[in-house]
Amino acid sequence: MGVTGMRWGVWAALAIMVLAAPALAAGDSDKATHQSDHAEDPVILLEPIHIHGLPLNKDQQLGPVPKYTPWPAIPKSLEGQPLDDWMKARFLVSKEAGVTVVVLEPAKHRELTQAGLAALNRWRFDPQLKGDDPVDGEITVRIHFRTE
């Protein structure tokens, strides 16, 4: 190795030491202290909320907004039985706020589908908006029936 090659090696070693020095010098005293930084922050507990649908649809328009949402009751014929069933329905909400319910997937128990449909037919909505103008819209829900 000539003098030029040795100089290049010395410069490369020096460059590595200069670039690595801050990381090596940091040591344990500069490690992240995220937990201790926030130990004294006040904790604010928020009340739980329930969201019945998505506020925006894929077109970024306000979706139909549920105003009245009664939930179905377990039919007397199924009371006392363990249940784990669900149904899926779509609401078609007109710009005049008229509501049509379409069952997309019924529950395994016919009685639960009937009870669910009876309750969903009582739901009321404000229509979807495009800007400030009401337009026809839709929203899909899944109702889970579970008892033990």
Note whether residue 37 is domain-resident: no
Note whether residue 132 is domain-resident: yes
- Cβ-count burial 66-99 (b if 16+ within 10 Å, e if not): beeeeebebeeebeeeebebbbebebebbeeeeb
Note whether residue 111 is domain-resident: yes
Note whether residue 57 is domain-resident: no
The pLDDT assigned to 7 comes to: 52
The pLDDT assigned to 148 comes to: 77
Outline where the chain has alpha helix (H): 3-26, 34-37, 110-120
Note whether residue 35 is domain-resident: no
Question: Where residue 83 sits, what CATH number does that domain have?
Answer: 3.30.2420.10
Q: What is the pTM of this model?
A: 0.57
Count the domains in the chain: 1
Note whether residue 29 is domain-resident: no
Note whether residue 17 is domain-resident: no
Beta bridge partner(s), residue 139:
91
Note whether residue 41 is domain-resident: no
The pLDDT assigned to 132 comes to: 80
From first to last of its 148 residues, the chain has per-residue pLDDT tens of 554 454 545 444 444 554 445 555 555 544 444 555 556 656 556 555 444 454 444 455 668 989 999 989 889 999 888 989 999 999 999 999 999 999 999 999 999 999 999 999 999 999 998 878 899 999 999 999 988 7
The pLDDT assigned to 120 comes to: 96
Domain hosting residue 89, numbered range: 65-147
